[in-house]
Chains A and B, each alone.
Chain A
Amino acid sequence: MGDSSNNHGPSRRGFLKGAAATGAALGAAGAVKAEGDPLITEVQEWASSLGEGVDATPYGMPIEFESDVVRRNVEWLTADQISSINFTPIHALDGTITPQGCAFERHHSGAITLKKEDYRLMINGLVDTPLVFTYEDLERFPRSQQTFFLECAANTGMEWAGSQLNGAQYTHGMIHNMEYTGVSLRTLLEEAGLDAAGDLKDKWVYVEGADASSNGRSIPMEKALDDCMVAFKANGEALRMEHGYPVRLVVPGWEGNMWVKWLRRIEVMDKPVESREETSKYTDTLEDGTSRKWTWAMDAKSVVTSPSPQMPIKHGKGPLVITGLAWSGNGAITAVDVSLDGGVTWQEARLAEPGKKMALTRFYLDINWDGSEMFLQSRAMDETGYVQPTKAQLREVRGLNSIYHNNCIQTWHVNAKGEANNVEVS
């Protein structure tokens, strides 16, 4: 990719020296000269002098050598950078938790600055008593904590018509996975009282943000009472501004647009609003011109994050770790298969941990690469028995104009040099 991992400013020389030495040691472990690796035989500067003291950086940032592990946007995708999106660097991450600082952003009217003191949350509509909560009020309700992925409905959307962008970050990076702390939406609704709503079966809640876009979505009461959360912490710390500080909604397994940021109002209703974001956007147009609406759940999906176009194989033949992420909005991931030959044969990958409901699952496949070309694919299975489909299978049902909710199997073509490209295969 265009971003250079060597751009390290003042320390570049030292880094390259280290890299060269490491490369030699790795590339020809048995051929090190008799005098040995200078990184070992010579006393290094860092092993002799002193490092930084505490509080050098009161809030720590990644070390300079990791400066390329950042969110990136694609400038021409949107008309400006305020109503826009960027992508999580999933190609460079491991594990399952996405650090907040590199978790993708999607704003409709920009990320706003809203103080806790200025925060108000209203519950109105078909409730016994319309209520207003302050941030401090929310902190006094019993809390829950759980990890969920958030995937934008448009993740992989550019790929419907063909292979477009070259990198897992760009094809699959509209996703993040965080441990949320907050109050269940059910608790807040019950505080306002739902007797006035009568039979809850056909009721809805409308959730709305405080920013200028007034992003609002209608959610069936059943989901609202099931597992939605009004969250104020992610990965243990306050939400970032770009993710809705101080309070956002968490709608496990459902498309990211419903996870309203800067949540300011919850209305209990007897019908959906049919807002802009649930009619003109986030709906899936089929081949005959009709469109699906209310396609909320994000179906099972996976992607190999390394090797991938931004993560070529640099070490040549031999042991190779193939790794990636899998997730399902309909439950837990039960298995992930990997194919090296474009889907002719598959082998089951190793899950780093058993899948958790509506959260990212990390998988590994450890192989001995013989240096021949590969068509790398991964395929996720979830607890409902669903098997992640190919792009051809999806197109057969939906045609070419669907854009959203593309959970197809991704193919990376890895050549003999270890370089990877985004392709479609027969």
Chain B
Amino acid sequence: MSKFPKFLMVASVAALTAAPAMAEKLGLGRAATEAEVAAWDLDIFPDGSNLPAGKGDVWTGEEVFADACAVCHGEFAEGAGNWPKLAGGADTLDHEDPLKTVGSYWPYLSTTFDYVRRSMPFGAAGTLSDDDVYAIVAYILYSNDLVDDDFVLSKETFSDVVLPNAEGFIVDDRAETEYGTFTNRCMSDCKPGAVEITTTVVFPGDPNSGFDATPISQAVMGTAGATPDAAASTEEASAEDAPAEETAVVGEVAAPAVMALDEELVAKGEKVFKKCKACHKVGDKAKNGTGPILNGVFGRAAGTVDGFKYSKPMLAAAEGGLVWDETELSGYLANPRKYMKGTKMSFAGLKKDKDVAAILEFLKSHSQ
């Protein structure tokens, strides 16, 4: 393979051939069954090998994406809040602050399929059917103007798609471009003239205590995209967007009586809540995230958390007087989209009644 790093071609010969004869086996472990290997060995290679059977078209993809992905990635894959943008950014890689998306940066379509299939949606990984994954990936391609709206992605059409940045990567060349240069250990008179400050720190204090006016210019982490500006404006929105009449509704709801708790069930509910906490927070420090905070949700009038932008159907239900009691929450959590068509909550639902019961008890414990 021509792209194999040079250091390996040199170093590996020694390391690999100097190895002692294979050590005697200890006979530990057991043979993996074919079913086990098939269950875990899901990775897809750039040439499409290991792709599953199935297919999906752009329009199906748009629907699945709206249900499963849009809450974080936007209706058009343009990104929501601080979550990653999946579309756009064409020809920005040599600009200041390039926009790196599937369309502008990712070299291989296999990576998109592989990642969506194994790791998405966030908080419900591995729940999409292979056809849905094909459809979502087709829609992401369409959102990046890389296929027409009649495109159907399948194992067969997979190799018809070449992503724009496929040739945009080079193998680590630091050995040639840097290592030979970074060798000067100067000890004195290393710079002409006096040293002066050219840049002072952007966030002089505790970075969590507030935001300086100057935005940080690089998004570093996998899910980043946050700028202090964006964060600050979100906070402002939180304060301003809470409609007065909703606040009034909160006032009308009587404080729930203290409920007796089954602590064992609360503990079970806390575990089940892991499915929810990617989007929902509870506790003293809870803030609205992708979903509203759930402190006090039990017995609360629907659609009334300050600063959270609810879906239209949720606001309509709230206007109709929906209150989150045991019956309503059970129905919603068991099958969110059936319970409320058009809800923003992209959660498949809790299949087991006992999980619903446990989570209700947990939410009760945060509603005392």
What is the interface of chain A, defined by CB distance below 8 A to chain B?
A: 1-3, 72-80, 82-85, 108-110, 122-125, 129-134, 137, 140-141, 154, 157-158, 160-166, 170, 187, 190-191, 193-194, 200-202, 206, 208, 212-214, 216, 220-222, 225-226, 264-265, 267, 271, 273-277, 279-281, 283, 285, 287-296, 299, 309, 337, 341-347, 375, 379, 381, 384-389, 393, 397, 400-401, 403, 413, 421-426
B172 near A294 with CB under 8 A, answer yes
Determine if B203 and A165 form an interchain contact, defined as CB atoms under 8 angstroms apart. Answer: yes
Residue from the list B5, B114, B222 in contact with A281, Cβ < 8 A: B222
Taken together as a complex, chains A and B put the C-alpha atoms of A207 and B84 apart, in Å, by: 25
Which of the candidate stretches B90-98, B236-244, B308-316, B354-362 sits at the interface with the other chain?
Answer: B90-98
Q: A132-B30, A274-B45, A288-B94 are in contact. Are A75 and B208 (CB under 8 A)?
A: yes
Nearest-neighbour CB distance to chain B for A58, whole angstroms, equals 21
Docked-complex contact A132 and B36, CB < 8 angstroms: yes
Indicate whether A344 sits within 8 Å of B190 (C-beta atoms), given known contacts A165-B201, A276-B111: yes
Partner of A345, one of B11, B184, B190, B221: B190
Q: How far is the CB of B15 from chain A (nearest CB, A)?
A: 5
Would you give the shortest CB distance from A326 to chain B, in whole angstroms? 14
Mark interface residues in B262-302 (1 if CB within 8 Å of A CB, else 0): 00000000000010011000000000011000000000000
Contacts A80-B289, A403-B220 given; does A342 touch B195 at CB 8 Å = yes
Shortest CB-to-CB span from B343 to chain A, Å, is 20
User: Chain B residues near A265 (CB, 8 Å)?
Assistant: 40-41
Q: Give chain A nearest CB distance to B175 CB in angstroms.
A: 10
10 contacting pairs across A/B (C-beta < 8 A): A122-B40, A201-B12, A212-B126, A273-B45, A291-B168, A346-B187, A397-B177, A397-B181, A401-B93, A403-B220
Distance between A376 CB and nearest chain B CB, rounded to angstroms: 11
B118 within 8 A of A: yes
A78's nearest neighbour on chain B, judged by CB, is B221
Neighbour of B26 across the interface among A158, A191, A213, A267, CB < 8 A: A191
Cβ contact within 8 Å between A292 and B189 = no
Decide: B211 and A76 in contact? CB cutoff 8 A. Answer: yes
Residues of A within 8 A of B185 (CB): 337, 346, 379, 381, 387
Contact B115 A83 (CB under 8 A): no
Closest Cβ of chain B to A408, distance in Å, is 11
Chain B 38-89 residues near chain A, CB threshold 8 A: 40-41, 43-46, 72, 81-83
Note all chain B residues with C-beta closer than 8 A to A422.
200-201
B125 proximal to A (CB < 8 A): yes
Are A271 and B43 in contact, with the CB atoms below 8 A? no
List, in ascending order, chain A residues with CB within 8 A of B218's CB.
157-158, 160-161, 401, 403
Q: Cβ of B44: which chain A residues have Cβ within 8 Å of it?
A: 273
B residues in contact with A381, CB < 8 Å: 185
Number of interface residues of B (CB under 8 A): 110
- Contacting A at CB under 8 A, from B172-226, are 172-174, 177-179, 181-191, 193, 195-209, 211, 216-218, 220-226
Q: Answer whether residue B254 sits at the interface, using C-beta atoms and an 8 A cutoff.
A: no
A124-B37, A166-B203 known; A271 vs B168 contact (CB < 8 Å): no
Q: How far is the CB of A160 from chain B (nearest CB, A)?
A: 6
With contact pairs A163-B202, A293-B170 given, residues A74 and B208 touching in the complex (Cβ less than 8 Å) = yes
The answer to whether the Cβ of B248 comes within 8 Å of any Cβ in the partner chain is: no
Judge whether B106 and A279 touch: CB under 8 Å. yes
Knowing A386-B179, A401-B96 are in contact, say whether A271-B278 is a contact too (CB < 8 A): no
Q: Does B151 belong to the interface (CB within 8 Å)?
A: no
Q: Taking the nearest CB of chain B, how far is it from the CB of A168, in angstroms?
A: 12
Stretch at the interface among B17-25, B131-139, B329-337: B17-25
- Interface: B366 (CB within 8 A): no
Q: Are A274 and B111 in contact (CB under 8 A)?
A: yes
- Bound complex: CA A208 to CA B189 (Å): 50
Q: Please tell me if B110 contacts chain A, counting CB pairs below 8 Å.
A: yes
User: Which residue of the partner chain A has the closest CB to B227?
Assistant: A76
Across the interface, which residues of B come within 8 angstroms of A133, CB to CB?
Answer: 28-29
Q: Is the CB of A214 within 8 A of B195?
A: no
Complex: A165 Cα to B41 Cα, angstroms? 41
Inter-chain CA distance A73–B40, complex, in Å, is 33
Q: Is B123 an interface residue (CB 8 A)?
A: yes
B197 and A425 contact, CB distance less than 8 A: yes
Q: Which residue of A lies closest to B205 (CB)?
A: A2
Structural contact, A397 and B122, CB atoms closer than 8 A? no
Residues of B within 8 A of A190 (CB): 22-23, 25
Min C-beta distance of A301 to chain B, whole Å: 11
Within the complex, which residue of B28, B115, B223 is in contact with A191, where a contact is CB–CB below 8 Å? B28
Closest to A218 in B: B43
Which B residue sits closest to A72, measured CB to CB? B208
Q: Are B82 and A78 in contact (CB under 8 A)?
A: yes
A79-B83, A421-B200 known; A274+B187 contact, CB < 8 A? no
Q: Which residues does chain A contribute within 8 Å of B31, judged by CB atoms?
A: 129-132
- Would you call B43 and A216 a contact (CB within 8 A)? yes
> Using Cβ atoms and an 8 Å threshold, which residues of chain A touch B228?
76
- By the criterion CB–CB under 8 Å, are B223 and A291 in contact? no
Structural contact, A423 and B16, CB atoms closer than 8 A? no
* CA A411 to CA B238, docked complex, whole Å: 38
Is the pair B188, A345 in contact by a Cβ cutoff of 8 Å? Answer: yes
* Contact (Cβ within 8 A) B43 A275: yes
Nearest A-chain residue to B271, judged by Cβ: A113
* A-B contact sample (13 more), CB < 8 A, given A200-B12, A265-B41: A3-B206, A83-B223, A141-B26, A194-B22, A208-B40, A212-B126, A221-B16, A273-B114, A274-B110, A275-B115, A283-B169, A294-B171, A345-B190
